[in-house]
Amino acid sequence: MSKDIKGKNEKNEKNEKKNKKRLDYLCVLCFPISMDFARLNKGTFDSILTERLVGSIMKKVVKFGGSSLASAEQFKKVGDIIRADESRKYVVPSAPGKRHSKDTKVTDMLYGCYALAEADKDFSAELAAIEARYNEIITGLGLKLSLKDEFEVIEKNFKLKAGSDYAASRGEFLNGRIMAVYLGYEFIDAAEVICFHSDGSFDAEKTDTVLSKRLAKAERAVIPGFYGAKKGGEVKTFSRGGSDITGSIVARAAKADLYENWTDTSGFLVTDPRIVENPKPITTITYKELRELSYMGASVFHEDAIFPVRKAGIPINIRNTNSPEDEGTMIVESTCRTPEYTITGIAGKKGFVAINIEKDMMNSEIGFGRKVLQAFEENGISFEHVPSGIDTMTVFVHQPEFEGKEQNVLSAIHRLAAPDSIDLEANLALVAVVGRGMKSNRGTAARIFAALAHNNINIKMIDQGSSELNIIIGVRNEDFELAIKVIYDIFVSSVL
Ligand code: ASP
């Protein structure tokens, strides 16, 4: 045996011993896991194994929506979720949401209560009802905590007319206080770490600096969602549903590995369940696809919440508090996973007007398009799509936005572009078929159009972006639901 080979063999033996040790160690770790989770499927088992192995070095930011924190029972589910994974270090709660369909969200109760205070009317009964909601949670959790002092301060500030943003922010503030005590986590008031400019816009860079410094000092913490403060301390909220944004900001500042957004659905669905019964869930979606779908009406997640984590390359996992074993939807920058059905999702909106403009020799008139669009700009109307022919150009706009300014826009087009004719068509809907898988597949458009034609749906407009990420189709408002159903059937139901 040559020296070289002998040396290699000795090395291999050593490696084998090392690997065996590693394997024994893994088996020890695996055993209790497999006992605990014997009934779970392989995918979940794998992810739990990974969580156990790397859980301690990973850092996750977890945001819980209002329905996940509406009652003590819901709080307990949240507590179990957080305790099940020690990498869930930073928690962003919303205010308590609806406990049942006829219930009122605490945020809405606060807005209502403050409206009375602002009008110098008695608001004591309304404030007491809000206090009762929190007390019910505290008692249900068996906590030794009193929010009496906080409510006295709130009452005083309402009388001083501290503003409706301050009023609404108390929903998250108080829920955060309860959550911190319940989990034994540090409480960080969002007013100290989420910064707004004096004009009310969000100050992303200052927030990132202040918040990262603060989080570095807190191993585990609760940071209430939805609000922050301006330089002088005046409380400012994001738009409704804004706790999603706080979660994303905290994930960026904490340099988290994952932002988990816990809600009451198991992630995104391929299409609207009000139109298609039990649509399939989406397991992985890219930020770009999500942007297209949410712009066209799909909603689970606040649109503005994507930016901070996307910038930091942190994936988002949408999960269901009421069904924590579901894997939910992963929102990622890019993925090599091909979508199961070629398309990722279908969304759409009703209520568009098409303004069809004709002019002989339009194609050779340089600047014609700019002049037409200027007419919309002058009237403060944004356009959605501009499909064009040789001597025709169509501009799609939102009907409610256009209606009040219709004649001003038309006369501006005449003045600026001198067309031969303008013709309007109202009550149109746009359907967006979105999917990164379309790029590598032939025949996607053909399948969509064939499905629509077989169902007697007339196509008014077709627009395929050069990225091949989406195909947008214009149909009449009354064909909207059927169009979505038949596209879903051809791509999803027919391959099942
Ligand atoms: N509580 C606020 C709302 O109802 C913010 C949130 O829940 O994200 O809009």
Q: What is the rounded distance in angstroms from the CA atom of residue 397 to the CA atom of residue 247?
A: 33
CA dist., res. 125 & res. 144, Å (int): 25
Contacts of 262 (CB under 8 A, 6+ apart): 62, 63, 64, 65, 68, 78, 81, 319, 320, 321
Of 269, 214, 222, 252, the closest CA to residue 75 belongs to: 222
Distance CA 428, CA 432 (A): 13
C-alpha of residue 85 to centroid of ligand 1, in Å: 25
Give the residues surrounding ligand 1 with Cβ less than 6 Å away: 66, 94-95, 105, 107, 171, 225-226, 240-243
Pocket test for ligand 1, best of 103, 104, 105 (most atoms within 8 A of CB): 105
* Dihedral sign from CA coordinates of 32, 34, 35, 40: positive
| Residue among 104, 107, 301 whose CB has most ligand 1 atoms within 8 A, to mutate | 107
**Alpha-carbon span 293 to 348, nearest angstrom:** 8
Q: How many angstroms does the Cα of residue 347 sit away from the middle of ligand 1?
A: 24
CA of 283 to the centre of ligand 1 (A): 25
Q: Can you tell me which atom of ligand 1 is nearest the CA of 238? A: 5
- Check residue 11 and give its pLDDT: 53
69: alpha, beta or left, given left = phi > 0 and alpha = psi -120 to 50? alpha
What spatial distance separates the first Cα and last Cα of the chain, rounded to whole Å?
A: 59
Torsion of CA 39, 45, 47, 52, to 10 degrees: 100
Report the nearest atom of ligand 1 relative to the CA of 108.
4
Residue with CA nearest ligand 1 atom 2? 241
Q: Kindly list the distances between the CA atom of residue 86 and the CA atoms of 56, 95, 112, 175, in Å, as whole numbers in the listed order.
A: 6, 24, 39, 21
The reported pLDDT for the residue numbered 30 is: 30
Locate 189 and state its tokens.
Answer: 């008031």
The H-assigned helical ranges of 37-105 are 42-54, 72-83
pLDDT at 468: 79
> Residue 318: phi, psi to the nearest 5?
-85, 120
The reported pLDDT for the residue numbered 47 is 55
Measured by CA distance, the residue closest to atom 5 of ligand 1 is 241
Q: Going by CA atoms, what residue is nearest to atom 6 of ligand 1?
A: 241
Looking at residue 9, its pLDDT comes to 52
pLDDT tens column, 214-244: 999 999 999 999 999 999 999 999 999 999 9
Residue holding tokens 């600047």?
367
**How does 450-464 read in b/e, with b if 16+ C-beta sit within 10 Å?**
ebbeeeebebbbebe
What was the pLDDT predicted at 48? 47
Query: For the chain, which ranges sit under pLDDT 70?
Result: 1-56, 496
CA 107 to centroid of ligand 1, rounded, Å? 7
pLDDT at residue 491 in the model:
94
Instruction: State pTM to two decimals.
Output: 0.80
Ligand 1 site-directed mutation target among 67, 94, 238, most atoms within 8 Å of CB = 94
15 vs 41: CA distance, rounded Å:
32
Render pLDDT for 331-378 as a digit per residue (tens, 0 to 9): 999 998 888 888 999 999 999 999 999 999 998 899 999 999 999 999
Structure tokens at 149: 């002092």
With beta carbons less than 8 A apart as the criterion, state whether 3 and 18 touch: no
Residue 226 CA to ligand 1 center (angstroms) comes to 6
- Closest atom of ligand 1 to 171 CA is 1
To test the ligand 1 pocket, which listed residue (227, 238, 243) has its Cβ within 8 A of the most ligand atoms?
243
Q: Residue 215 has what pLDDT?
A: 98
In Å, what is the CA distance from 212 to each residue of 218, 222, 494? Answer: 10, 14, 49
Distance 94 CA to ligand 1 centre (A): 6
Cα separation, 82 vs 289, in Å, equals 29
Q: Residue 496's pLDDT is what?
A: 61
The rounded Å distance from CA 446 to ligand 1 centre is 42
- How far is ligand 1, taken at its centre, from the CA of residue 191, in Å? 16
